[in-house]
């Protein structure tokens, strides 16, 4: 048995959850926040049999699209003049997709 822990963007979570539920996979959903973009994510936990790992990973891949997003970052600090005008620098970053962790499960108990 395996535990799949996957992190997806909030925008991708509803369709992914629907698809997993339609395929009879039971999912625990957690609201999380990413450290880099400081945006909301959804973390999903699934306990599944070993032979279903690739099927679940494919479902996650199909419903977790990557896209480009502009993020504004402050420029590098300047020691020359404290009163320099500070403007944000646009940076194009790829967001989306999914991060998938596949962990071994020693035992599962339902009580």
Please give the CATH number for the structural domain made up of 2-67+95-104: 3.30.70.120
Q: How far apart are the C-alpha atoms of 66 and 43, rounded to whole Å?
A: 17
> For residue 40, what are the β-bridge partners?
33
Dihedral through CA 30, CA 36, CA 37, CA 42, nearest 10?
Answer: -10
In the three-class reduction of DSSP (H, G, I as helix; E, B as strand; rest coil), residue 11 is classed as coil
Cα Rg, the chain, nearest whole Å:
19
For Cα atoms 16, 18, 21, give the angle at the middle one, nearest 5 degrees.
110
Give the domain ranges of the chain.
Answer: 2-67+95-104
pLDDT (tens place) for every residue of the chain, 111 residues total: 999 999 998 989 999 999 999 999 999 999 998 776 677 899 999 999 999 999 999 999 999 877 777 777 666 665 555 555 556 777 777 666 899 999 999 998 989
């Amino acid at each position: 048995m395996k535990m799949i822990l996957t992190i997806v963007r909030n925008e991708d979570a509803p369709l992914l959850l629907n698809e997993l539920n339609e395929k009879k996979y039971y999912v625990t959903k957690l609201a999380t926040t990413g450290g880099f973009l400081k945006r909301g994510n959804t973390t999903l936990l699934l306990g599944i049999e070993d032979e279903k790992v690739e099927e679940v990973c494919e479902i996650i891949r199909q419903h977790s699209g990557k896209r480009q997003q502009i993020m504004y970052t402050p420029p590098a600090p300047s020691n020359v003049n404290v009163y320099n005008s500070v403007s944000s620098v646009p940076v194009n970053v790829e967001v989306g997709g999914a991060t998938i962790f596949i962990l071994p499960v020693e035992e599962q108990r339902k009580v």
